[in-house]
Amino acid sequence: MQRISALAACLLAGIVAVSWHPETRAAEPKDPKALAARPDQPEAKISTSWDQKTAAAYLDQRAAWWMAWPKAARDHETFCVSCHTAVPYAISRPALRRPLAEEAPSANERRLLENVTKRVRLWKEVAPFYSDADRGAYKTVESRGTESVLNALILAANDAQRGQLTNDARMALDNMWAEQQTTGSKKGAWSWLRFANEPWEADDSDFYGATLAAIAAGTAPGNYLTRAEIQNNLTMLREYLNRESAAQPAINRVALLWASAKLPGLLEPQQQKAFIKEILDKQQPDGGWSLSSLVGGWKRNDGTPQEGKSDGYATGLIAFALQQAGISRENPQEKQALAWLAANQNKTEGFWLAYSLNKNEAHHLSPGTALFMNDAATANAVLALTDATHK
């Protein structure tokens, strides 16, 4: 498996892609910070003309491609659960069910859930996504830690739609807690796959993985967070996320905001306020955010310059995380973000464009792998736009 697809438990692994499709551009709106500072100024109208049907078709097609891609195949006739394609699909695709009047999960959703469930049930038998023998030191334990979180997140989110925790999701959560580190500087986190790819497979990606674990636990239905047997795990997780939050790139603090909405007491009010201000201050004049502005001085491994344009991945994730953290969709800057998303979908093919932090289009393995960032971007945009619509 190429490094670009390494994570997924392979976590929400490796942002490694850029699109080869033409970009859809929107007219530049007024500076959202100016709007926020001048409440007497007329607000710009927000377009809601994004195409839900083509977004679903794009996500479905990409999930099918990933599940059939030979390099994603793993033992016991399963496939790797990638952070760039599989996990975003599992989390976002159900959000389109109601808008599209679908009565049941899509065929690809069912196949993905079956794959995850199979690996959870065979946890002690199934081989890790990567091993020390074929990918180097620590890859076995990193694979186990990463996959345990992703499996729990996917199954807990699925159960939350029904309001009842299944045995399979409970087993996935048990596996997750069993992989949590209990000593050392990473106490409270999980070993995470490292392939020198931001934002999912870098040295700081274990923090991102821990936010996903918090989301998984907080999403699980049936008063799961009150269970006595997990209280020590939750304490270690909260302590780790608070202890390490100041040292993280901004994109990881965005994920922490999302997690704080699912895990009560994770952030103090003043911390949350400071993180929100930091993120809003990075909004670009067109209303979007650029992922490259949220990762410090990260350099691409192919030596090409980072893309500074607003992108669907950062804008979608931030708009959604802010909503989850309690920011109203009527907030001027949130409205500008949602307007950017509505205006910047490729209406013909359904996707939102994003850019790899690790390499440009010319250095990708294939046209299919060059779409990984678009897969995650489209999922984030769908989450943000459907969440705004339903509230």
What domains appear along the chain, each with residue ranges and CATH number? 3-390 (1.50.10.20)
- The pTM score is 0.87
Query: Is a pLDDT exceeding 60 seen at residue 59?
Result: yes
| Cis, peptide link before residue 29, omega less than 30° from 0 | no
pLDDT at 2: 40
pLDDT at 338: 97
- Given phi > 0 = left and psi -120 to 50 = alpha, else beta, which region is 350? left
CB atoms within 10 A of CB 40: 4
Q: Tokens for 6, please give them.
A: 């390494």
pLDDT at 12: 38
pLDDT at 23: 34
pLDDT at 389: 75
pLDDT at 360: 83
User: Mean pLDDT throughout 334-350?
Assistant: 97
DSSP output for 15-56:
------SPPP-------HHHHHH-TTSPPPPPP----HHHHH
DSSP lists the bridge partners of residue 73 as: 79
pLDDT tens, residue by residue, 212-240: 999 999 999 999 999 999 999 999 999 99
The secondary structure element, H or E, covering residue 160 is helix 139-160
pLDDT at 24: 35
pLDDT at 364: 65
pLDDT at 287: 98
Nearest of 47, 31, 64, 18 to residue 347 by alpha carbon: 47
Furthest-apart CA pair in the chain: how many Å?
64
User: Mean pLDDT throughout 55-80?
Assistant: 97
- Low-confidence winner among 80-84, 289-293, 339-343, 359-363 (lowest mean pLDDT): 359-363
> Who wins on pLDDT, 182 or 46?
182
- In whole angstroms, what is the distance from residue 151 CA to residue 8 CA? 10
Q: Name the CA radius of gyration of the chain, rounded.
A: 19
- In whole angstroms, what is the distance from residue 282 CA to residue 232 CA? 36
User: Mean pLDDT throughout 114-141?
Assistant: 96
Query: Is a pLDDT exceeding 70 seen at residue 26?
Result: no
pLDDT at 387: 87
Query: Is a pLDDT exceeding 80 seen at residue 269?
Result: yes
Q: Band the pLDDT of 48: cuts 50, 70, 90.
A: low
User: Mean pLDDT throughout 167-194?
Assistant: 97
Mean pLDDT of the chain: 88
pLDDT tens, residue by residue, 354-388: 999 998 876 666 667 879 999 999 999 999 999 87
Query: Is a pLDDT exceeding 90 seen at residue 324?
Result: yes
Query: Is a pLDDT exceeding 60 seen at residue 133?
Result: yes
